[in-house]
Amino acid sequence: MTGRAVRTTCAYCGVGCGVSATVTGERTVTIKGDAGHRANFGRLCSKGTHLGETVGLEGRLLTPEVFGRQAGWDEALDLVATRLRDCIEQHGPDSVAFYVSGQLLTEDYYVANKLMKGFIGSGNIDTNSRLCMASAVAAHNRAFGEDIVPCTYDDLEAADLVLLVGSNTAWCHPVLWQRLERAREQHGTKLVVIDPRRTETAEQADLHVPVAPDGDVALFNSLLAEMQARGLLDADYLAEHVNVPEDFWAGLTGDHGIAPDTFRSLADLVAAHPKMVTMFSMGANQSVSGTDKGNAIINLHLATGRINRLGAGPFSITGQPNAMGGREAGGLANMLACHLGFSKAERADVAAFWQTDRLCTGPGLKAVEMFQAIHEGRIKFVWVMATNPAVSLPDAGFVREALARCETVVVSEASADTDTTRLAHVLLPALAWGEKDGTVTNSERLVSRQRPLFDPPGESLADWQIMSAVARRLGWGDDFAWDSVAGIFREYAAMTALAGRHGKVLDLTDKAQLDDAGFDLMEPFQWGGAFPLANGYATPDRRARLVTVQAPEPAAANPDFPFRLNNGRYRDQWHTMTRTGWSATLSQHRREPLLEVHPADAAARGLTAGGLARIVTAQGSAVYRVALSDGQRRGDLFVPMHWTDVTAGGGRTNRLPGQGVDPVSGQPGYKNTPAQVEPLKPEWRAFLVSREIAAFEGLIWWARSRVAGGWLCELAGDGACDIARMLPDGARIEAADHVRGMRRVAVQDETGALLAALFVTRSGELPPREWVAAQLAQSAASPIELLAGRASTPAPDRGPIVCICHGVGENEIAACGAGTVAEVGEATQAGTNCGSCRPAIARLLAGLELVEAAE
């Protein structure tokens, strides 16, 4: 492959895989895993593998906009600066806020933090990482004295036992899953998955512990009590390195509710394997007891001495590509900068470093509080960067209301149309992955370069450039005068010297002298090394802390909302689909948001596989297609969090959870919301394939996904189906069967190419979508075939696609006669490229359906 080679880092999750990109054209690139990168050694998951499908300019914001019209940069930046200054002068610095993102590079974070905390003088900058792992940060701070992840990926591979807590690793951190799979093959690592759901990850485990929602503290307390009873505490380690509260051992109570046999099996595994890593993620963190969960896990490791040595430790895995960089640079409202807090001495050092007399006096508002303050009018100016809070924060309807009330909403974005950009007064076009230049830190403290593949499109600028331009307008030009991202990195690296002065481990000072060329060539490096806490904890006495944590009281039964609603991610989608939603390949995995419910609960509520259901909570309601799953606990519901008002009607999941947060970390409790569910019986159902994005009004439900050459939309409604409004102009061919309540309409252009096709039924079945959708790109079908919804000589039905890399369907896997995942790979190639589908293949081989949501 000829082209320009660029080594960069994946845009998506906190694994932080290295990418070897080859730029082949103005906006085209081929993607491979970087064999030399220590996070992934050449592997990529499905999302990383298909990054090249997401670098087009469709849907990009390319020019500044002011009050809905295009504007020049000067006008937009002048307006932002004027509104900021006026607000600060009239209402004080705490009347403004920045809400930023783990999508920002560390240098962007550094500038945002310096501007808000150092010069505007407010702590009101918080990052969407608050939603992801703030509880792990708080747990680290309580136990270690600093937000330190004491493990690396090498520990995962060296461990004899891995506990995964609240982590669907096979879907959400797939390359780590692949490393774990390999370790299990090579030396028989035991795997326990602690998760209310039997996910594809749990199905591959030696033991699945179906903990109740928020039952983790009771479970880990009980496990520690059991280790104590078995004489397995490490008395020497405790004596030398750990402070234990007086009442600690008496406090290890709580009803974990796990079947005695399962608990005994878990305890036996833990007892037998001192080389143990506990990896925890959003399932643990996104809880009103998330910090306590983190400390319950850390307590077990500290008390058994399973930390600071190869193959042992508590390991928080972050969701976003640079959540960790944000934590380091100061993107969280309750940290000042470089892991420093707000003590007098820390503030004095930071003020001196930044040469400012305007440093904020204390922490700012955390994400949920920030939007409450906006709703109440206490914050009058908010600048949202690279995130979509109108969809992603809990009680998202409230957040939308807050933004709609706010006097000034500025949004820096790469995407033109998100639920949040629709509420902005000023839109500023920012760079996207493939254009950004800077650094990210992954879950194992590995700092890697993200390098640009393409020139900035349109008028877009880097986030740090946009913020610096505003800072100059506010009179702080000398303090924001960088002319390259390397200069910002050097300043940030030099500033980490302050962390050491206050007993912290974070230290990048050896990079502070890199020149621009050196920064450009900088190889990934891991701050803190393999065992960052081996020489002492970051507390005044250099000792760790066991933290007394109590299991939360079980919620009282609520007859109005008898179910517990959980939410999470799909394997091939990322956040609110602003990038992955543009990939036709990735969209094949799950085309619509599904409600997963236990079959017995479904029967009791009158829900059927493939039917629609409305979930109602105290905050709002949303609609999903029903999928039956005996991997769900009775009484629990699960829905994905990706769809938005831009991509679905009524499927915006985060309008459902409430505003309850963990009292220590401020992280919202997304995963345990009291809910009710009821069946919906629309009068008609339909699907539409179309070249252009269609608009829908007045439907009960719709969901949109990308296909080659256009879009596939699932629809449902009552009354008349407004065909005229949904279809474009062109030559129409049509078939109707009024007895069966069926209508099919195709629209072609003057060459006969398909522009759109709509299939509606009131009582019958709809044909498989994929063949019809494929005609958008192929345009070879006759009118009769189009209206029939299939070719006159149909190709064998491959079934739902399982392997998106090689386009292998469920029926092909079933027919190939293989008995193992490896044999399926040999016979069909499925699972042999990125490997993300291997758990799904294993599920099929075990005779389980991937998802029971047939119509």
Residue 709 CB partners (closer than 8 Å, separation 6+): 691, 776, 777
Considering the complex, state which of residue 111 and residue 586 has its C-beta at the smaller distance from ligand SF4: 586
For residue 45, state whether it binds ligand SF4 (rule: CB under 6 A). Answer: yes
By CB under 6 A, which span of 9-17, 260-268, 611-619, 683-691 interacts with ligand SF4?
Answer: 9-17
Binding mask 152-181 for ligand SF4 (x = CB under 6 A): ---------------------xxx------
For residue 37, state whether it binds ligand SF4 (rule: CB under 6 A). Answer: no
By C-alpha distance, which of 722, 724, 715, 733 is closest to 775?
A: 733
The CA distances from residue 552 to 255, 293, 464, in Å, are: 10, 10, 42
Considering the complex, state which of residue 40 and residue 672 has its C-beta at the smaller distance from ligand SF4: 40
Considering the complex, state which of residue 170 and residue 297 has its C-beta at the smaller distance from ligand SF4: 170
CB of 172 to ligand SF4, least distance (A): 8
By CB under 6 A, which span of 15-23, 123-131, 221-229, 637-645 interacts with ligand SF4?
Answer: 15-23
CB of 153 to ligand SF4, least distance (A): 11
Considering the complex, state which of residue 135 and residue 443 has its C-beta at the smaller distance from ligand SF4: 443
Q: Concatenate the DSSP letters of all residues of 231-257 into one string.
A: T-S-HHHHHHHEE--TTTGGG------
CB of 580 to ligand SF4, least distance (A): 9
Task: Classify strands 701-707 and 648-649 as parallel, antiparallel or unpaired.
Answer: antiparallel
For residue 44, state whether it binds ligand SF4 (rule: CB under 6 A). Answer: yes
Task: Out of 7, 8, 12, 108, name the contact with ligand SF4 by CB under 6 A.
Answer: 12
Cβ atoms < 10 Å from Cβ of 133? 34
Could you give the CA distance from residue 45 to residue 54 in angstroms, rounded to a whole number? 15
Q: Which amino acid is at 580?
A: T
Task: Out of 7, 16, 366, 636, name the contact with ligand SF4 by CB under 6 A.
Answer: 16
Residue 40 CB partners (closer than 8 Å, separation 6+): 15, 17, 18, 33, 34, 175
For residue 224, state whether it binds ligand SF4 (rule: CB under 6 A). Answer: no
CB of 769 to ligand SF4, least distance (A): 27
Task: Out of 7, 8, 17, 411, name the contact with ligand SF4 by CB under 6 A.
Answer: 17
For residue 423, state whether it binds ligand SF4 (rule: CB under 6 A). Answer: no
Considering the complex, state which of residue 40 and residue 420 has its C-beta at the smaller distance from ligand SF4: 40
Considering the complex, state which of residue 44 and residue 773 has its C-beta at the smaller distance from ligand SF4: 44
Considering the complex, state which of residue 17 and residue 193 has its C-beta at the smaller distance from ligand SF4: 17
Could you give the CA distance from residue 687 to residue 771 in angstroms, rounded to a whole number? 13
Considering the complex, state which of residue 350 and residue 446 has its C-beta at the smaller distance from ligand SF4: 446
CB of 11 to ligand SF4, least distance (A): 7
Distance of CA 583 to the CA centre of its chain: 17
Task: Classify strands 408-413 and 381-385 as parallel, antiparallel or unpaired.
Answer: parallel
For residue 52, state whether it binds ligand SF4 (rule: CB under 6 A). Answer: no
CB of 173 to ligand SF4, least distance (A): 6
CB of 40 to ligand SF4, least distance (A): 6
Task: Out of 6, 8, 13, 627, name the contact with ligand SF4 by CB under 6 A.
Answer: 13
User: For residues 808-846, b (16+ Cβ closer than 10 Å) or e, as one string?
Assistant: bbbebbeebebeebeebbeebebbbbbbbbbbbbbbbbe
Radius of gyration of the chain (CA): 27
For residue 102, state whether it binds ligand SF4 (rule: CB under 6 A). Answer: no
Report which secondary-structure segment, H or E, holds 142.
helix 130-144
Report which secondary-structure segment, H or E, holds 726.
helix 723-726
CB of 406 to ligand SF4, least distance (A): 33
CB of 34 to ligand SF4, least distance (A): 10
For residue 406, state whether it binds ligand SF4 (rule: CB under 6 A). Answer: no
User: For residues 317-343, b (16+ Cβ closer than 10 Å) or e, as one string?
Assistant: bbbbbbbbbbbbbbbbbbbbbbbbbbe
Could you give the CA distance from residue 141 to residue 163 in angstroms, rounded to a whole number? 22
Q: Which spans in 496-543 are helix H?
A: 497-501, 516-521
Considering the complex, state which of residue 47 and residue 293 has its C-beta at the smaller distance from ligand SF4: 47
Q: Is 381 exposed, middle or buried (0-12, 13-18, 19+ CB in 10 A)?
A: buried
Q: Which spans in 549-698 are helix H?
A: 599-605
* Subset of residues 714 to 773 that bind ligand SF4, contact rule: CB under 6 A: none
Task: Out of 48, 64, 438, 839, name the contact with ligand SF4 by CB under 6 A.
Answer: 48
For residue 447, state whether it binds ligand SF4 (rule: CB under 6 A). Answer: no
Instruction: Point out which residues bind ligand SF4 (CB under 6 A).
Output: 10, 12-13, 15-17, 40, 44-45, 47-48, 173-175
